[in-house]
Amino acid sequence: MLDTEQNSPVLPPEIDRRRTFAIISHPDAGKTTLTEKFLLYGGAIQMAGQVRAKGQARNTRSDFMQMEKDRGISVSASAMSFEFRNFWFNLVDTPGHSDFSEDTYRTLTAVDAAVMVIDGAKGIESQTRKLFEVCRMRDMPILTFCNKMDRESRDTFEIIDEIQENLAIDVCPASWPIGVGRDFLGCYDLLNDRLELMDRADRNVVGESVEINGLDDPKLAEHVPAELLEQFLEEVEMARELMPSFDHQAFLDGTLTPIWFGSAINSFGVQELMDGIGNFGPKPQVRPADTRPIAPDEPKVTGFVFKVQANMDPKHRDRIAFVRLCSGHFRRGMKLTHVRTKKPMAIASPMLFLASDRELAEEAWAGDIIGIPNHGQLRIGDALTEGEQLRFAGIPSFAPELLQSVRSTDPMKAKHLDKALNQFAEEGAAKLFKPVIGAGWVIGVVGALQFEVLASRIELEYGIPVRFEPSQFTSARWLTGPQEDVDKFIDINKGHMALDHDGDPVFMTRLQWDIDRVERDYPALSLSATKEIL
């Protein structure tokens, strides 16, 4: 049987009501504030302000260190589950800082939809664009929230045009703002014909909602001053003429984004957005694997690890693997097969993350994110199944943009350093390259801040003082091709070769010219800046 609305098979009700999504935005657009309001309306927290610590721990080194120490916050904030009306939302956090973008890209492989938050005064910013492009590659449905409408913001048409032109996606207004800045009154909900008025007095209270019978309902004039009303009616008329109306299929195909205008801090427009995620957002989707596509309603459980995070207790070196369940009905205590090692794993204490709390997950369904504590067996990209040998496709690993060599300033601890570095590589916090010739390691990261975070964590968690030093290389590329050619190449270019954490060969250089030369002289080989983790 097909669900005609989403053109997909009818799912068991528990899977059907799941919505798994991430928020993408440029730092400061209001992601943390919006998350907080989601949790507030989802009944997961009692008061706004509880996830604030994370929002403040944004940009500076010391804040990151604090966050690392305070791993409780960062762990539980990686995934948050809560109910809203009849829906079960799984919100997966994407780190805001651009230094951690690889983590963000991977996170996006675990969700079915994204909410794009933009600042009404700033429009599309660099990080929003990058993340949007990742979503676009996967044709992921995107809902847009234009935030900070309580402040001076750009003209509504200008904002919509910018999204359409910059991101090449159709935009359909789901609401229309009335007044700007100080005069911002609220929005007209174009999908439900309601007037939503903002309450500036209490930020945690939703303003008045007035049911309106179309735009010529005289009730509008009772709530909107004449000069604003005239302009608003003109704008809506124009918008309806110029802009596409809401087309659910186009949204699910990722070619049209509905936009809501609001103010997260004033709790305004947030519930309408949540209704949008619930009513229109995709249900858990079919996932591509190397052998066949996996449908969410298949009875057997499958899932993959998209993130690994060190646990709160550094003494035990426990880690939590975040797993996106792709199919089936998971129950605590189940024995799943760890596909990479082919070993069975009893999942005795899976966790669900409920805002600032975590609790044992007695059960979970396709679409859910569960945390599995482990001692390092689970790596990013690993699949868990009920015995089937399969691997989920599309989990990317990017070539690092910065390389440095690392050594312990205490020679007695060199061996322990190997262990620490391996752990961070497994967590995905850094790339680890072992040069074919000589001792030591080359560490690759995406942003400079990561070196500092790493040095501090190695010292804090392993008691090893380390120093990062410039490496003679600046670029790393994965080398693939027929085994014989690869072996021959490695033999001739030993000084440039290393093996990554999985034992895959990597070519390192400081010259783009070198990369071009290899591509020209060795047509059977290819050098790649990304590797799909399989």
Per CB under 6 A, residues contacting ligand G4P are 25, 27-33, 55, 58, 96, 147-148, 150-151, 263-266
Least separation, in Å, of the C-beta of 343 and ligand G4P? 40
At a CB cut-off of 8 Å and minimum separation 6, what does 312 contact?
71, 72, 75
Rounded to a whole number of angstroms, the minimum distance from the CB of residue 410 to ligand G4P is 38
149 a known binding residue?
yes
Nearer to ligand G4P, 184 or 473 (CB): 184
Structure tokens at 224: 């909107």
Please, what is the minimum distance in Å from the beta carbon of residue 31 to ligand G4P?
A: 3
d(CA 30, CA 116): 10
CB of 27 to ligand G4P, least distance (A): 4
Do the annotations mark residue 3 as ligand-binding?
A: no
Cα separation, 324 vs 371, in Å, equals 9
Determine contact, residues 388/531, Cβ cutoff 8 Å.
no
483 vs 404: CA distance, rounded Å:
28
Nearer to ligand G4P, 52 or 494 (CB): 52
Nearer to ligand G4P, 96 or 276 (CB): 96
Burial class (CB in 10 A: 0-12, 13-18, 19+), 161: middle
Taking the CA atoms of 201, 204, 209 and 215 in sequence, report the sign of the dihedral they define: positive
**482: amino acid identity, one letter:** P
Pick 147 or 493: Cβ nearer ligand G4P: 147
- Annotated binding residue at 33? no
Which of 458, 470, 469 has its CA nearest to residue 420?
458
Question: Which CB sits closer to ligand G4P, 125 or 298?
Answer: 125
For the bound state, the minimum distance from the C-beta of residue 382 to ligand G4P, rounded and expressed in Å, comes to 30
Alpha-helical runs (H) found in 205-321: 219-223, 226-242, 248-252, 270-280
Beta-ladder partners of 384: 303, 338
CA-CA distance, 125 to 96, in Å (whole number)?
13
CB-nearer residue toward ligand G4P: 131 or 295:
131
Ligand-binding annotation for 416, yes or no, is no
Closer Cβ to ligand G4P, 264 or 497, answer by number: 264
Shortest approach of ligand G4P to residue 93 CB, angstroms? 10
32 is known to lie in a ligand binding site: yes
Determine if residue 26 is labeled as part of a ligand binding site.
Answer: yes
Least spacing, CB of residue 185 vs ligand G4P, in Å: 15
93: number of CA atoms within 13 Å, CB side?
27
Residue 65 tokens read as: 């260190």
Q: What is the largest CA-CA distance in the chain?
A: 82
189 labelled as ligand-binding?
Answer: no
The annotation status of 93 as a binding-site residue, yes or no, is: yes
Feature table: binding site for GTP: 25-32, 93-97, 147-150
